[in-house]
Amino acid sequence: MSQQIQYPEGGQKITVGSDGRLQVPDNPIIGYVEGDGIGPDINRACMRIWDAAVEKAYGGRRKIHWAELFMGEKAAALYDGDYFPDETKAALRDVLISIKGPLTTPVGGGFRSLNVSLRQELDLYACVRPVRHYAGVPSPLQRPEDIDVVIFRENTEDVYAGIEYQAGSADNEKVARFLREEMGEEFFDGAGLGVKPISPFGTKRLVRKAIEYAIEHDRESVTLVHKGNIMKYTEGAFRTWGYEVAREEFPDRTITEEELYATYGGKRPEGKIVIKDRIADIMFQLMLLRPNEFDVLATMNLNGDYLSDAIAAEVGGVGIAPGANMSDNVAVFEATHGTAPKYANQDKVNPGSLLFSGVMLLEHIGWSEAADLIRAAYEKVVGAGIVTYDFARSLQGATEVKTSQFADALIDQMHGTIDIDRIQREREEAIEAERQAREQRRVVAPLEEMVASGRVPHTVADLMNPNLVTMSGDTSVEDAMHLMRERRISSVVVQPAPDEAEGMGIMTQRDVISRVVSATKQPSQVRISEAATRPLITVPEDTSLLDCAERMGAENIRRMVVIDTQGRPIGIISDTDIFASVEQFGLPE
Ligand SMILES: NC(=O)C1=CN([C@@H]2O[C@H](COP(=O)(O)OP(=O)(O)OC[C@H]3O[C@@H](n4cnc5c(N)ncnc54)[C@H](OP(=O)(O)O)[C@@H]3O)[C@@H](O)[C@H]2O)C=CC1
Ligand SMILES: O=C(O)CCC(=O)C(=O)O
Ligand SMILES: [Mg+2]
């Protein structure tokens, strides 16, 4: 066997004690695989951050001794075309804990996925992917903080098992003949064929791990995700065996959702984990609409692959979501995204996914002080708008930095050598300056444009501000205040919450002051529907400015929401807008 791997001097191996727990020395040897594509860029950056956090947390008493292990393109170059050498497999088992970057897999042919091979060869049966939101990270959701789930994805079975027969091959014909002649199945000629094995053994060990995690981390529920209505004997069986393991092995710690309502009136008894199940397609919708109903998710391989990328998108994208592949002793932590080849060697991408996989690793070996330092520094740095290109795309006032510069900022923050509050202040000032410039353009420039073109504003649509924010009535006043401050707006349109019969309303800064602050209520405890003014006073987009001014006077209000012909809110017009127009053009006709 070719020998390329060298364990660093001064390091000691992690072992498993007689109680089954990891024995971690202060100088553990931990394996790392750099990965292909963007792998080297993110790995270089993350190693500096992990090392700095460990040094800072333990004052030099603890130190990781990294051992480079080889997979993918780097391995092929060193081991004569072998992408996953035996030496690496042996070392991954030997050091017990490793972390890896992404690896290239060719589509539709070529060699088998190295990631899948790794999971199967080492029997790393649980792919654990926590997804939560970090303050300051841009998200398409109104309340991304509601997302805090841990996905346990089965890692060795399902259509990923690699039991596939290529169309036109002799094996394919043999299997097709068997299925048609012996089993009476019908399908089109020339079909590629794949097998989807789901076993009670594979299912139960995965669901067992998910329930153990839920118990250990004081989580409320474990949801079995499946498409058992269609694939009854694979996905349906996953559901059946999942409930079985809960009932047989954790009878004192689990109840089913059915029991929750039938026996406990919907109120979860202290210390019990609720086991429930959802069909996979609706699960994607639920994770967008009501994510706070979910906690730990147990899925089969393919559903978990899809679902983990989709949920990651809700909290900032695959650039930030971490993961780990685990057996009972061996664990290989890994970024959940791929090799993003178009960005390779550009020092450009977000190191967050690998970084937080390392944070999981630090927690796994019990070094949570170092993990906490990274999390705290991350929130500060991203909160100050220092981000890589992916977050910069949707973050107002962002300072876009390279992968290595992002690592520098995190390390400086941990060392206290960066004035993050000043950067944050400057960012807020820049956002404010941008807002004022926008306002200037909105109120003055359109009028100037109109003067130049000889047009005169007639209707509210000519003058309205289309920058309108609508929020659901069950949003807390605190969350709405954050958004109003961030967007520099003085009101939000309030849509009825699902449990409300009333129509739309508006909540202004003045409402917050008079109905929440002066009433000494906690903004976090009050829903915006309680602070809003109803009904919403609207004005159709083709209303003349004079009519609008008259209505404002009659209703004694300073702004009105403009609606289109379908009754949808499309903008807001204020007395300031009409004032500016009259000052410029005189009284409208
Ligand atoms: N575990 C593993 O090793 C995995 C390996 N792969 C392999 O990776 C290769 C490429 O796969 P592909 O489907 O393109 O998926 P990738 O995850 O590599 O890239 C898809 C897109 O995701 C965004 N992205 C990915 N990583 C980052 C990051 N760190 N920071 C910011 N944005 C990021 C980029 O979006 P944008 O273009 O919008 O900027 C990128 O173009 C394939 O060979 C695939 O098999 C895929 C998944 C997992
Ligand atoms: O192996 C691959 O190339 C893709 C794996 C993947 O998508 C995942 O691990 O989530
Ligand atoms: Mg994937």
Parent domain of 481: 444-585
Distance 338 CA to ligand 1 centre (A): 3
Same domain, 517 and 477: yes
According to the model, what pLDDT value does residue 1 have? 66
Q: What is the pLDDT of residue 357?
A: 97
Domain for residue 464, yes or no? yes
Find where tokens 């290595």 sit.
Answer: 404
Counting ligands in written order, which one lies closest to the CA of residue 35?
A: 1
Q: Which residues pair with 332 in a beta bridge?
A: 98, 325
Tell me how far apart the alpha carbons of residues 98 and 238 are, in angstroms, rounded to a whole number.
30
Q: What is the pLDDT of residues 393-429, one digit of tens each?
A: 888 888 999 999 999 999 999 999 888 888 888 888 8
Do residues 504 and 557 both lie within one domain?
yes
- DSSP, collapsed to helix, strand or coil, labels residue 241 as helix
Looking at the structure, do residues 465 and 566 belong to the same domain, yes or no? yes
| 339 in a labelled binding site | yes
Do residues 390 and 377 touch, judged by C-beta distance below 8 A? no
Residues 423 and 451 both lie in one domain: no
Across residues 339-346, what is the average pLDDT? 96
Confidence of residue 540 (pLDDT cuts 50, 70, 90): very high
Which stretches of 228-385 are assigned E, i.e. beta strand?
Answer: 254-256, 273-279, 296-299, 322-326, 331-335
Residue of 100, 114, 318, 333 best suited for mutating to test ligand 1, as the one with most atoms within 8 Å of CB: 318
Residues 481 and 555 in one domain: yes
Residues within 6 Å of ligand 1 by CB? 38, 102-105, 115, 318-319, 334, 337-340, 349-350, 353, 390
Nearest CA-CA partner of 302 in 226, 236, 230: 226
Beta-bridged to residue 495, according to DSSP, are 472
Q: How many residues does the chain have?
A: 589
Q: Which of 373, 401, 430 is the last residue in one of the domains?
A: 430
Residue 573 bridge partners (DSSP)? 560
CATH, residue 524: 3.10.580.10
Q: Is 305 flagged in the annotation as binding?
A: yes
Q: Is 281 a catalytic residue?
A: yes
pLDDT for 444 beyond 80:
no
pLDDT band at 17 (very low <50, low <70, confident <90, very high): very high
Whole-number mean pLDDT of the chain? 92
- Catalytic residue (one of 305, 408, 462, 511): 305
Average pLDDT over residues 441-465: 77
Please check if 104 is assigned to a binding site.
yes
Please check whether residues 408 and 456 belong to one and the same domain: no
Q: Which helix (H) or strand (E) holds 477?
A: helix 477-487
Give residue-wise pLDDT tens across range 182-240. 999 999 999 999 999 999 999 999 999 999 999 999 999 999 999 999 999 999 999 99
- Report pTM: 0.79
Nearest CA to 324 among 88, 22, 122, 55?
A: 122
* Domains contained in the chain, number: 2
pLDDT value at residue 442? 62
Residues 415 and 480 in one domain: no
In a domain, 224, yes or no: no
Atom of ligand 2 nearest to the CA of 114: 1
Q: What does the pLDDT read at residue 445?
A: 65
Stretch 92-108: mean pLDDT: 91
* Ligand 2 pocket, residue 476 CB under 6 Å: no
Q: Are residues 535 and 468 in the same domain?
A: yes
Asked whether residue 422 falls in the same domain as residue 483, the answer is: no
Residue from 93, 74, 127, 78 nearest 16 by CA: 93
Looking at the fold, whether 512 and 550 belong to one and the same domain comes out as: yes
